Amino acid sequence: MLVQEHTVEQCGSGTPLDRPHLPHRLVARNSRGQVAAIAAVVKTQGSDTKLVAQMQPYFEAQGMGRFEMNGKSVPPLVTQIADGENGGVMMNEFPPKFIEIMGEASGSDTPPVNVTEYLEYLESTGVGEDDFNPVQPVMQQRIWDRMPADGGPEALAAAIEECERAEEPFHMEGGSWTNDISWVRGYDEVLPPGVSSPRSSTPG
């Protein structure tokens, strides 16, 4: 899964990521302690369409060194993804810049790869998903810090209500670098019944 840097936090501390250019494990946990996880690659920059069109992550990657993971020296991965057309930027600027950068990067010390190739390379060196640092959706640590040991749906609902009453900003509708974008509000006609009003249902 590809996630934005500002939408996740480190499990256990709730702090920003220490090494966002390495793969992570996105952990989903419910009130009963059940856990599911998936490999997650963090998109640190390039969320603006213009930066994507200019292949900005390539230049970011050029200034980076290797990291240690599970006792192995591994290269970082700088990812990018366009968030849509904006003033003709992708249509007019991306094609020639992409061709230019691919020609420069191919065979260099900063080669272009897709995420699958990168993860397969790490696996070939003995670094697998169990070695990835766990992360969770942003602001969730505030919930788990308020959960009693035995937990359960009622305790989770109470913890969420307590978080919402606290002075610091808190929401469970997604995250972004601006912290003011909701993936729920404004999508009532798109989301299936029951999803558009998360607070009206009992979380599990």
**Is the model's pLDDT at 46 over the cut of 70?**
no
43 and 129 assigned to the same domain: yes
Q: How long, in residues, is the chain?
A: 204
Q: Domain count of the chain?
A: 2
pLDDT value for 44: 81
175 and 128 assigned to the same domain: no
β-bridge mates for residue 35, sequence order: 29
Mean pLDDT, range 50-75, rounded to an integer: 90
Residue where a domain terminates, one of 133, 163, 190: 133
| Helix (H) or strand (E) run with residue 43 in it | strand 35-43
7 and 105 assigned to the same domain: yes
pLDDT value for 187: 61
Mean pLDDT, range 58-80, rounded to an integer: 93
Residues 177, 83: contact at Cβ < 8 Å?
no
21 and 120 assigned to the same domain: yes
Residues 78, 60: contact at Cβ < 8 Å?
yes
Q: Looking at per-residue confidence, does 72 or 48 come out higher? A: 72
Which residue range(s) make up the domain with 187? Answer: 139-200
Distant-in-sequence, close-in-space partners of 65: CB < 8 Å, separation ≥ 6: 76
Mean pLDDT, range 154-175, rounded to an integer: 84
Does residue 31 lie within any of the structural domains?
no
pLDDT value for 81: 77
